[in-house]
Structure 1
Amino acid sequence: MDIVNTSGEHPPPSRQPAVTRPGDRVFLGLSRGSGILLLVIMAAIAVFLTVRAIHAISLDHSNFFTTFEWNASLTPPSFGIAVLAYGTVVSSLIAMIIAVPVSVGIALFITHYAPRRLASPLAYLVDLLAAVPSIVYGLWGGLYLVPHLQGLNLWLNEYLSWTGIFHKSDPSSAARSLFTVGILLAIMIVPIITNVSREVFRQVPRAHEEAALALGATRWEVVRMSVLPFARSGIISASMLGLGRALGETMAVATVLSASPVLSLRLLDPVGGTFAQNIAAKFAEADNFGRDALIASGLVLFVITLLVNGAARLIIARRKEYSGANA
């Protein structure tokens, strides 16, 4: 018996159209299987890290979250992540403060300001920078960036040492600090943020820009009122991708940073360390227990990355009403 809709309203359309063709069914199965496989891999990684970390933390004779030094080879072992967590977060924040405005500016210049003859080579150059291995960035940072930042460190120490942040205890020491690491990480993540932001800017409806121009808006007003609001979610996503690389960067940081078990607000002093740098430096010489301890620090980095991406997703979901694109 057929049921007749007498209210005069059309039933809501189905969110998922019926899949009838064999090719659609195969594609649906592959897509669904890929998503499930990704969740299984993430769960397997989390379980592996948790099991190995619990074993190490249970034998730690100090507070894992507040201890500064890392001495997993001692008897009894004593190690903690306070300095590593601080160094990872601070260096990544420095990188984001530098990289995000520069990347958005480059993307806007390529898509809205540069002539086509210049835009294409510049976009290609940015793509090439994204393909450079991290060890190459590390070698360049250690051999070129560190010596050439000495002058900037001296200038900051002379004029901004009153802040405490840019005070350098030994002005003659090399610029192997979290500040240098932040600059190097910023250079490394600029191509990632720029490429994603550039693609988002290209998705802005042309009608929006033409309407603003027709109303007498300048080019900057078009960017401010039409382009940036539409691309806000995409810029946040691009920034989180860059932050993910900055948090987990290993070889470049290990090449540049002179780590020490000291936690200080002085960004120009060779203090602190990062999770990835500590794992890379000590994994080869560590015994089985020492590797479990390093895996425990890796679990913390894994959790931080998940929290950062989850927070980014919440920000995008709250701001998607200001954008013409779906989050």
Structure 2
Amino acid sequence: MTTAPLPQPVTAPPPETDRPRRITAPLTRGDRIFRTGLQLAGYSVFLIMGLIAFFLLLRGTDALRATGWRFLTETRWSPAAHTFGIAAVLPDGILIAVVALLFAVPISLAAALFISEYAPVRIRRALVTMVDLMAAVPSIIYGMWGFFVLQPKAIGLIRWAALHLGGFLPFFKVTTGDIGTSYTSSTFIAGMVVSLMIIPIITALSREVFSQAPQGEREGAYALGSSRWGMVRSVVLPFGRGGVIGAVMLGFGRAMGETIAVALIISPTFKFTGHVLEAGANSISALIALRFSESDSFSISGLMAAGLVLFGITLVVNVLAGLLVSRSRSGAATAE
């Protein structure tokens, strides 16, 4: 008598692990052409920046070879005697940018918060448009307005600050007291004019960052009994901190490179004193604009070398700003 084989137990198949599926779509010819065009446009930025740096380095080689590292430490500008450098104009340019930031940052942040959080919807679009239009105004218009309107109005304030604050704040000190010449064409006035030109940049970028604060965190702050300012202080400002820092650094780079407005305001000198209220200042961009038409080939080489230094400074500032934005919550949210 034969026995039937026992049935084997049925084992369940192992459960599949959950894995995200990659959704892809077939690329058409139009998609490939469009993607290639975008890639070429992106790579062209690196190409243009490299060509600018190569051009400045090529044209400034004669001056850099003649002066060497003294180009960064020399305070005189006498190309005929091979004695020239940017040590006197670079600090003034930085001071002009710093003064511009001291005026622009508070105004820009207040305007950005008002537009994104407080302004009625019916006027918000108009305010955004006005900020964008301010960025489109030519720099020579700001320079002329600063020279004919702002500078005469600011002399009283500058004179008061020099007389009452110059005694214990060295950078507010003015060595002479002639109101007609000592309180005009100064670093302070140039910074005030440049601040008008970077306010739209900082305002627009900060407003965009503030508007991207998570809605859930906003509602959570309100649910916990927070006021609107409490919500802004606890949600919007911490979220946009990195983006605001990046916007400020971009404004600083823009202020460092401003040319026409600064050239119209300042009285060019090659002596750095650090007295922001005193007449006489300079910057690399204004130096190039004012000296280019009267320069020979070797002097132009020196101006190109100065432009190369300015190009490097603004490039480093903008790269640092981009890194700060990308490492912040606001920058990560934008990337997503």
Asked whether the 8 Å contact 2:243–2:331 carries over to 1, the reply is no
> Residue in 1 aligned with 2:38?
31
> Residue in 2 aligned with 1:88?
93
Asked whether the 8 Å contact 2:326–2:332 carries over to 1, the reply is no
Whichever residue aligns with residue 165 of structure 1, its letter is F
Q: In structure 2, which of residues 223, 235, 240 is the aligned counterpart of residue 226 of structure 1?
A: 235
| Alpha-carbon displacement from aligned partner over 1:171-221 (angstroms, at most 9, x marks no partner) | 312421111111111111101111222222222233321221111011111
Q: In structure 1, which of residues 207, 215, 222 is the aligned counterpart of residue 216 of structure 2?
A: 207
TM-score between both structures, scaled by the size of structure 2: 0.87
> Residue in 1 aligned with 2:174?
168
Cα distance 1:57–1:159, how it changes in 2: closer, same or farther (>3 A)? Answer: same
Asked whether the 8 Å contact 2:239–2:330 carries over to 1, the reply is no
| Alpha-carbon displacement from aligned partner over 1:34-55 (angstroms, at most 9, x marks no partner) | 1222211111111111122221
Q: In structure 2, which of residues 170, 175, 188 is the aligned counterpart of residue 179 of structure 1?
A: 188
Matched, 1:158 2:163: yes
Asked whether the 8 Å contact 2:250–2:317 carries over to 1, the reply is no
**1:60: Cα distance to partner?**
3.2
Cα distance 1:210–1:124, how it changes in 2: closer, same or farther (>3 A)? Answer: same
Whichever residue aligns with residue 35 of structure 2, its letter is L
**1:61: Cα distance to partner?**
8.5
**How far, CA to CA, are the matches of 1:268 and 1:19 in structure 2?**
65
Cα distance 1:127–1:156, how it changes in 2: closer, same or farther (>3 A)? Answer: same
Cα distance 1:24–1:126, how it changes in 2: closer, same or farther (>3 A)? Answer: same
**1:271: Cα distance to partner?**
3.1
Asked whether the 8 Å contact 1:259–1:270 carries over to 2, the reply is no
**How far, CA to CA, are the matches of 1:129 and 1:119 in structure 2?**
16
Q: In structure 2, which of residues 134, 138, 141 is the aligned counterpart of residue 133 of structure 1?
A: 138
> Residue in 1 aligned with 2:298?
289
**How far, CA to CA, are the matches of 1:264 and 1:130 in structure 2?**
32
**1:9: Cα distance to partner?**
4.1
**1:226: Cα distance to partner?**
1.3
> Residue in 2 aligned with 1:3?
none
Correspondences of 1:1-327 after superposition (within 5 Å): 8-10=16-18, 20-60=27-67, 63-72=70-79, 74=80, 76-161=81-166, 162-171=168-177, 172=179, 173=181, 174-320=183-329, 324-326=333-335
| Alpha-carbon displacement from aligned partner over 1:254-282 (angstroms, at most 9, x marks no partner) | 00011211111211112331011000000
Cα distance 1:259–1:28, how it changes in 2: closer, same or farther (>3 A)? Answer: same
**How far, CA to CA, are the matches of 1:57 and 1:103 in structure 2?**
39
**How far, CA to CA, are the matches of 1:229 and 1:296 in structure 2?**
41
Task: State the SS of the aligned residue for 1:101.
Answer: helix
Cα distance 1:23–1:231, how it changes in 2: closer, same or farther (>3 A)? Answer: farther
**How far, CA to CA, are the matches of 1:296 and 1:7 in structure 2?**
67
**How far, CA to CA, are the matches of 2:125 and 2:67 in structure 1?**
55
| Alpha-carbon displacement from aligned partner over 1:302-321 (angstroms, at most 9, x marks no partner) | 11011111222332344348
**How far, CA to CA, are the matches of 2:147 and 2:330 in structure 1?**
45
Over the aligned positions, Cα root-mean-square deviation in angstroms equals 2.3
**1:158: Cα distance to partner?**
1.9
**How far, CA to CA, are the matches of 1:31 and 1:19 in structure 2?**
18
**1:300: Cα distance to partner?**
0.1
Asked whether the 8 Å contact 1:62–1:78 carries over to 2, the reply is no
Of stretches 274-283 and 317-326 in structure 1, the one that deviates more from structure 2 is 317-326
Cα distance 1:81–1:13, how it changes in 2: closer, same or farther (>3 A)? Answer: farther
Task: State the SS of the aligned residue for 1:280.
Answer: helix
**How far, CA to CA, are the matches of 1:261 and 1:202 in structure 2?**
45
Residue segments in structure 2 that go unaligned for 5+ positions in a row: 1-13
Asked whether the 8 Å contact 2:243–2:328 carries over to 1, the reply is no
Whichever residue aligns with residue 201 of structure 1, its letter is F
**How far, CA to CA, are the matches of 2:21 and 2:248 in structure 1?**
36
Of stretches 236-245 and 107-116 in structure 1, the one that deviates more from structure 2 is 236-245
| Equivalent residue pairs, number | 319
Cα distance 1:106–1:61, how it changes in 2: closer, same or farther (>3 A)? Answer: closer
| Alpha-carbon displacement from aligned partner over 1:208-243 (angstroms, at most 9, x marks no partner) | 212211110111111111112222233233223322
Cα distance 1:68–1:7, how it changes in 2: closer, same or farther (>3 A)? Answer: farther
Whichever residue aligns with residue 63 of structure 1, its letter is R
Asked whether the 8 Å contact 2:240–2:330 carries over to 1, the reply is no
**How far, CA to CA, are the matches of 1:106 and 1:92 in structure 2?**
20
**1:18: Cα distance to partner?**
6.2
**How far, CA to CA, are the matches of 1:198 and 1:98 in structure 2?**
18
